[in-house]
Structure 1
Amino acid sequence: MSTNIIGISAHYHDSACCLIQDGVLKAAVQEERFTRKKNDPDLPKKAFMYCLKEGGIGMADIDCIAYYEDSRKKLSRQLWSGIQGLTSQQIMDIQPLRVEESIRKDLGFNGLIKVYEHHQSHAASSFFYSDFKESAILTVDGVGEWATTSYGTGKDAALEIFEEVEFPNSIGLLYSTLTSFLGFSVNSGEYKVMGLAPYGRPVFADKIWQMIRLTEKGQYELDMQYYNFLKGARMYSDLLAQLLGIPPRRKDTDILAVHKDIAKSLQVVLEEILISKAQYLHDVTGSENLCMAGGVALNCVANGKILKHTSFKNMFVQPAAGDAGCSLGAAALAYADITGKRIAKTENHVYLGPSYSNDSIRKVLQSTSLVFSDFESREDELLQHIAQKIADGKVIGWFHGRMEFGPRSLGARSILADPRGAQMRDRINAMVKKREAFRPFAPAILSEETSKHFDLDHDSPFMLETCDVISHLDLPAITHVDRSARVQTVHKETNPRFYKLLQAFQKITGCPILLNTSFNIKDEPIICSPEEAVVCFVTTDIDCLVVEDFFIDAEGNDLSLLEMINQNLVRAVEFELNPDVYTFI
């Protein structure tokens, strides 16, 4: 009989579900990909059903459901914070018994439920899925129950957290506070600040250092006079505007030089804090290995600086470092508790979501008036055709295999283009992604070609580290203003079709690199299904769509009328968490 462990993160933001079967991670997916509600916090019912289907199991086969945080401890922090003005629904949401009741009632599960603390789940999501037999572990986020930063160690099937920084002191909330001050949405706009930073100068660093003070060991303290998040209405106080000498930027207004300077200053301060505290962790543990998780670990610029400027020699960052990844950690902890064993070594990829057969895709396309070409059993011909289109300057919507788990598109649900095109970045930002012009794009490169084009001497399969561009090729579409890039190294073992496409493009152009960005538009989740791929294709400026073995060209198709799309292919109602304050509820 197999051992089946379900991991769940929910009721906060970015809910997700995973399945560990006989110690092997079989499936993982965020609920937002099914509901189309970005950062959907609800119990991941659809993701749960997908995991059961992918594992070929029923409810009676589940040995345990592992939940990612302790609701009772979280409630104590919420009550301490004295959050005011709660609605009746929010009051219900923070009841500590709600989690178990919802799993029992909404999922229909009557078996064993194990609960782990938020930062335990984060730490486990990194260490147990790394290749390290032992490692130091650093978790940094906004807040869990009480912990905001934690320091730990992992060895074999054991994990220990030996020190924590507690709320309201939080590096993540420092970053989110200035994210909000700069006019971006909290919980989702922090990566925009990271992308904006290279355009500025660190002239506000001294002022930002007044907002936080480093103390002994792994500790630090926020100067709470500059923050207002305890009241639950907004992140910053009026004193922050006085400190910085400018009013808060309103959303969707012009981004000025001073805003770029604040972003740069914040990034510099964040990097200095993380380097200092990571070095402390190394000094205490003596480990050469570092595992990182938590939302702050998605700051790929800081990750590269930590590895470069501390005594750690090796680093693993959980690809789904935010709360979605906690489902993986909780499940791995439960597996260790039940079996006494560590989960099996994972394959070095995150293709853990749904896939779709050619037959099902053909039916979708036939339900529209789209003219398409069928390349089934002709993969080489298809890839050659796509590579030539990209070389000719076309933007490609690419849909292949199982969907990625986590926030990055890594060659399963991607938009692809030629990185050498001088106008390509502006075109995709404006006409396809419909997002801010300053936002950079990432390169995907054949793994064996990496060191010829980027200052990177190790694999980076998950786009979680930036490095300098050193290529002899001119690559304006993927080179940021500071000459950096967030690289994805592509391996034939983990994504053979994407690897072959890069080879085909290299054969035509001499360039082993493609621009790779997520297959979605601004403020929407990454696409999951063929239907969503078609909708995104016809409502953007994407030139060609590839869905498994089917090729659709905008030329020769009238994309002006959405009536061509079957009524089943409609978008869900837009949904967004409160953009002005971190999700404490």
Structure 2
Amino acid sequence: MSAVLGLNFHHDTSVCLIVDGRIHAAEEERWSGIKHNRTTHKGILTSPAHALDWCLRTAGITADDIDQVWTPSMRPTSRNGSWEATERAELAAMLPEALGKRLQLISHHTAHVLAGYLLSGEEHAAGLVIDAGGSALGPDIASSRERITGYDLRPDSIDRVHQVAPAIAPGPSGPERTHPSLGHFYRNLALRVIPPGNEAEGSMMALAAFGDPDRYYKELRELVHLGEDGLVRIAAPWGSYAPDTPLLIGDAVWTARSADSKSLDARADLAAAAQRVFAEAVVHVARHLRRLTAARTLVFSGGCALNSHLNGTLAEQSGFENLFVAPAPHDAGTAVGAALYAWNYVLGQPMLPTPEDADWGPLPGPLPTTALADGYRTVSGLGDRLVPAVAALLADHHVVGWVRGGMEFGPRALGHRSILAHPGEAATKTRLNALKQRADFRPLAPLVLAEEADAWFLGDADPFMNRVVRARHCKSDRMPAVIHHDGTARLQTVSRGHSGVRPLLEEFHRLTGVPVLLNTSLNFKGTPILRTAEQAIAATIELGLDALAVEDTLVLAPHVRIDTALSASTGTDSK
């Protein structure tokens, strides 16, 4: 038996365990209930204890059985050069002794890129990682971190071929660094466009579709310099985290505290300009990597790879023939990259197959035995009849929670902990955004049978909802609930290898002629995707969903009718 462990101790705390080629992975937030489970405000790290315990238990092994333990480095530099030993000791102390003594460090950006490359199925690829910031570049380069990193990737080598470093300029008291973080640049703009209490970056990407980028583009573009050989320079302080600095654009002062004082039109225009400038910078670096590596495929990862609109642009304009975005490109995915590094490069094991699903997490567990509130009732023991029953409810425009199989790893529901609906009525989007307390301008995503995708959408999507594509005009009126203002959709393709939602989507297609379902995460505003059957039932009642499917059981709202023969033959418990 071979077993390797990858850990991420920082925000989006996570664990990935690979045993004999099988991935078990989970994020600590699904137990803590704290979205992006992270270090405390005092900088104290948190251990992914629940996720680690689950991974070991479900694999049926102990800490003593693990061959390799790796984690990305994220601590600041130290003047005495002991930063690596200090960080390793600090992290090892948070683990069982058998794991702590084996713990080794890998660069944050290398863990990011390997989480994509080693699952891509590609022999040779260029790798690009862009985020707010990664590992320290070295003990002798104070306060400098990975921000934009390029790789030439092969089965026997990981070659870092591009690194955008800070610009050094004279300051009042000595040299000052201007940091080139496109992640911080985008976040800084989002904080000034989206009022507090909302997911800033994702909301700004959605709002950009309503704006005119030309209104603020020229002024915003002057903040970002793109030079030869993939150089990126960002005017201070916008390449660093600057939540309090006023931004003067368009004869107005923009601050994080005053975002809701600006008109929606103005905010949409600034969002559109920010999205354009951001995308131009990423494409600029990608084109340099294409020339540098001569690779046909680009693997993109890091927090900025969550920007699905950017990914669509990158696929079209980067010059690469193929784009592969890591299944979990955010920081939780670094645990996957660390584990895969140990599996492939240290143990010399063959690359794992490219996944068609990311159901690497826990099963939902049993339904609660206590009586349901508010007249909800259960229909249990449906077995093979569950899928036809749920498809009929969806065809009748009911909104249904869907909890089947292992939980998705990553920030997006992929058909295992989802809320599903018919895409054919625009009012459904309005209803769901209201239930989940989301801004009405935010779109909801479609999932589609993979073999039908080309007939309904233009452009290549993926199984992990990482890329925006354009809807075919002739099909848009059949799925208005999932088409954004600009005619695009963040599409998930569902292949025959998907264990959770594929049979339901096939049956819905048979009933309606539409191979598309609306899909959004089963959670509340500001909370992680819900993990257990018990949590799912509570959410169904509180959100006012019409029904919930948990494995082979249906939970029905009082107003929902189900076929009498089906109810009688399976047994209905009214509670």
> TM-score if structure 2 supplies the norm length?
0.86
Matched position secondary structure for 1:97: helix
User: Is 1:376 the equivalent of 2:381?
Assistant: yes
Query: In structure 1, which of residues 48, 70, 76 is the aligned counterpart of residue 52 of structure 2?
Result: 48
Q: Distance in 2 between matches of 1:384 and 1:375?
A: 14
Query: Could you say which residue in structure 2 is the equivalent of 1:134?
Result: 124
Amino acid aligned to 2:393:
K
Query: Residue 344 of structure 1 aligns to which amino acid in structure 2?
Result: L
Q: Which one of 191, 197, 209 corresponds to residue 221 of structure 2?
A: 209
Rounded Cα–Cα distance in structure 2 between residues aligned with 1:305 and 1:443: 19
Deviations 1:224-270 (A, max 9, x none): 055773xxxx43523x1356623335478365210000000011111
- What pairs up with 1:287-326 in 2 under 5 angstroms? 287-326=295-334
Q: Residues 275 and 516 from structure 1, CA distance in 2 versus in 1: closer, same or farther, beyond 3 angstroms?
A: same
- CA drift of 1:121 comes to 0.8
State which of 81, 100, 105 in structure 1 corresponds to 2:89: 100
3-state SS in 1 of match to 2:482: coil
Q: What residue in structure 1 maps to residue 567 of structure 2?
A: none
Q: Which amino acid is the alignment partner of residue 140 of structure 1?
A: I
Q: Name 1:31's counterpart in structure 2.
A: 28
SS of match in other structure, 1:270: helix
C-alpha distance in 2, partners of 1:511/1:273?
38
Check if 1:69 corresponds to 2:73: yes
Q: Which residue of 1 aligns with 2:176?
A: none
Are residues 1:248 and 2:285 paired? no
Q: Distance in 2 between matches of 1:37 and 1:172?
A: 22
- Counterparts of 1:204-353 in structure 2 under 5 Å? 204-225=216-237, 229=241, 234-238=242-246, 240-241=247-248, 245-248=252-255, 250=257, 253=260, 256-353=264-361
- Corresponding letter in the other structure for 1:474: R
2 CA distance for matches of 1:441 and 1:368? 29
Structure 1 residue 375, shift from structure 2 partner: 4.4
1:152 aligns with 2:164: no
Cα displacement (A) at 1:447:
1.1
How far apart, CA to CA, are the structure 2 residues paired with 1:161 and 1:244?
A: 42
Indicate conservation of the 8 Å contact 2:116/2:337, yes or no.
yes
- State the distance in 1 between where 2:282 and 2:71 align: 28
- Say yes or no: does 1:552 pair with 2:555: yes
Q: Distance in 2 between matches of 1:311 and 1:227?
A: 26
Any idea what SS the aligned residue of 2:480 has? coil
Judge conservation of contact 2:195–2:260 (CA < 8 Å) in 1.
no
Q: How does 1:462-477 map to 2 (within 5 A)?
A: 462-470=464-472, 471-472=474-475, 473-477=477-481
Distance 1:129 1:185 in 2: 37
Could you give the per-residue CA deviations for residues 461-500 of structure 1, whole angstroms, max 9, x where no partner exists?
11111111114343210010001111111112222x5112
1:383-424 residue CA offsets vs partner (Å, 9 max, x unmatched): 121112112221111100000000111100000011011211
Match of 1:581 in 2: none
Say if 1:156 and 1:342, in contact at 8 Å, map to a contact too.
no
- Give the C-alpha shift of residue 378 in structure 1: 2.8
Alpha-carbon separation, structure 2, partners of 1:237 and 1:96: 36
Aligned letter for 2:158? L
Q: For structure 1, which segment, 157-166 or 403-412, has the greater mean C-alpha deviation from structure 2 after superposition?
A: 157-166
Alignment of 1:446-485 (within 5 A): 446-456=449-459, 458-470=460-472, 471-472=474-475, 473-485=477-489
How far is 1:100 from its partner?
Answer: 3.2
Distance 1:34 1:309 in 2: 40
Which residue number corresponds to residue 204 of structure 2?
Answer: 193
Counterparts of 2:536 and 2:434, CA distance in 1? 19
Q: Tell me the distance in 2 between the aligned counterparts of 1:115 and 1:184.
A: 38
Q: Measure the CA separation in 1 of the matches of 2:371 and 2:16.
A: 32
Unaligned runs of 5+ in 2: 39-45, 136-144, 167-178, 561-575
Conserved? CA contact 2:130–2:182, under 8 Å: yes
1 or 2, which has the higher strand percentage?
A: 2
CA contact (8 A) 2:191 2:259 kept: no
Q: Percent identity?
A: 30
**Residue segments in structure 1 that go unaligned for 5+ positions in a row:** 81-93, 558-585
| 1:175 alignment partner AA | Y
1:15 maps to what in 2? Answer: 13
3-state SS of 2:329 partner: coil
CA contact (8 A) 1:207 1:244 kept: no
SS at match of 1:449: helix
The code of the aligned residue for 1:437 comes to D
Matches within 5 A, 1:412-431: 412-431=416-435
Structure 1 stretches of 4+ with a deviation exceeding 6 A read none
Retained in 2: the 8 A contact 1:332–1:342? Answer: no
Is the aligned partner of 1:490 residue 2:474?
no
Query: Within 1, Cα distance between the matches of 2:466 and 2:100?
Result: 39
Deviation (angstroms), 1:293: 0.3
Q: Secondary structure in 2 aligned to 1:147?
A: coil
Given that 1:27 and 1:51 are in contact with CA atoms closer than 8 Å, whether structure 2 keeps it comes out as yes
1:111 corresponds to which residue? Answer: 101
Q: Does the 8 A contact of 2:216 with 2:249 survive in 1?
A: no
Distance 1:513 1:451 in 2: 12
- Structure 1 residues 252 and 414: alpha-carbon distance in aligned structure 2, compared to 1, 3 A threshold: farther
Counterpart of 1:390 in structure 2 is 394
Return the alpha-carbon distance in structure 1 between the equivalents of residues 329 and 278 of structure 2. 17
1:516 corresponding residue in structure 2:
519
Question: What's the secondary structure of 1:28's corresponding residue?
Answer: strand
Tell me if structure 2 keeps the 8 A contact 1:176–1:187: no
SS of the equivalent of 1:177 reads: helix
Deviations 1:432-480 (A, max 9, x none): x111111101111111111111113x45211111111114343210010
Conserved in 2, the CA contact under 8 Å of 1:414 and 1:519?
yes
Shift of 1:4: 1.2
In structure 2, distance between residues paired with 1:25 and 1:219: 40
CA distance in 2, matches of 1:350, 1:10: 21
Task: Give the match's secondary structure for 1:246.
Answer: strand
Give the Cα separation in 2 of the matches to 1:76 and 1:216.
32
Task: Output the CA distance in 1 between the equivalents of 2:378 and 2:496.
Answer: 26
Per-residue CA deviations over 1:289-317 (Å, capped at 9, x if unaligned) read: 11010011111111111111132111110
Higher relative contact order at CA 8 Å, sep ≥6: structure 1 or structure 2? Answer: 1
Partner residue, 1:537 = 540
1:294 maps to amino acid:
G
SS in 1 for 2:114: helix
**Mapping of residues 428-443 of structure 1, within 5 Å:** 428-431=432-435, 433-443=436-446
The alignment partner of 1:39 has SS state of coil
Change (3 A) 1:98 1:273: closer
- Amino acid aligned to 2:77: L
